Amino acid sequence: MSTENLIKMNMPQVRRPNFGLENNFSKYYADGNPLLSHILNSLHIVFPEGEKLFIRSVKYFQDQIEDPQLKARVKGFIGQETQHMAQHEKIWDTLESQGVTAHEFDKWYSKNAYETVEGTIRNVFGEEIYKRLALAVTCGLEHYTATLAEVAIDPEINALQGFDEKMKALLMWHAAEEIEHKAVAFDVMQAVDGSPVTKSAGMLLATWALLYYGAIGSVKFLLEDKEVKLADLPQIFAQKAPLLAKAVGTMLPKLLQYFRPDFHPNQMNNDHLATEYFDANQKYFQKAG
């Protein structure tokens, strides 16, 4: 079946790409800009633990899914997120060799987010509400990743212009698969808990977590970078300010749509971006099992 048809059916395909990134990308791979490189470095660390949450949150409800097609989509979703985790973690040692304290940040962040915060929610609200909220947070973050993916892939925005080619390939692949599976966790949530309160609470918690941990990692890596002088920061920021403003301006209305009572991720009308990407980049992929 063609990629286009599979995406239309929302059936995520598991791919095992090989981008050859280990020890093989420049420190400021994001168009030579330290700020944008460190923002993305923070996401390289934040994503894998987040993806573990996505996987366990849908697994909590896997037994309750009756629709065989949704069951199959969940399997594809878990397979794709597992690959994302592995591919991002693969570059942590290279980041360390470039002076980015990836492991230290991961240690703090995973303990804080997934032991302290998640553990407290579990203890305070009890197992049932915790599981529903975990799935709602996943759905909120999935809307963020699909929206961010749109900005990354859209040729009109051209956000990854000037990037190290191998890093660009990793980010584009992740972006395309986020678009491909954007509705899976949401459909699980609809099937097991249609409450708009849970949905909105999950999105608010997701927003806080992404901004909080994403910002802490970015600032930490930037301040620890001995090659970045304080006096250079305004110029480094000014270089990418138009792109960052465009990205936020494009994303904000799409993010707010999530709070509409009749919202569904398939309304985002971005499938063609993923289809075009996969059609043009088959060279990176061998199909997994």
Tell me how far apart the alpha carbons of residues 43 and 84 are, in angstroms, rounded to a whole number: 12
Tell me whether residue 34 or residue 79 sits nearer to Fe ion (CB atom): 79
Tell me whether residue 30 or residue 78 sits nearer to Fe ion (CB atom): 78
Place of tokens 């693969």: 90
Q: How far is the CB of 203 from Fe ion (least distance, A)?
A: 15
Tell me how far apart the alpha carbons of residues 104 and 276 are, in angstroms, rounded to a whole number: 38
Tell me whether residue 44 or residue 84 sits nearer to Fe ion (CB atom): 84
Tell me how far apart the alpha carbons of residues 40 and 43 are, in angstroms, rounded to a whole number: 5
Segment near Fe ion (CB under 5 A); pick from 29-37, 61-69, 173-181, 242-250: 173-181
Tell me whether residue 84 or residue 240 sits nearer to Fe ion (CB atom): 84
Q: How far is the CB of 227 from Fe ion (least distance, A)?
A: 30
Segment near Fe ion (CB under 5 A); pick from 38-46, 58-66, 84-92, 227-235: 84-92
Cα dihedral: 243, 244, 247, 253 (round 10):
-140
Rounded to 5°, the CA angle 283-155-215 comes to: 95
Place of tokens 């051209």: 158
**Count of residues that interact with Fe ion, criterion CB under 5 A:** 3
The reply on whether position 84 binds Fe ion by CB under 5 A is yes
**Could you say which residues in the range 93-152 bind Fe ion, by CB under 5 A?**
145
Amino acid letter at 5? Answer: N
Tell me how far apart the alpha carbons of residues 43 and 242 are, in angstroms, rounded to a whole number: 20
Provide the binding-site residues for Fe ion, judged by CB under 5 A.
Answer: 84, 145, 178
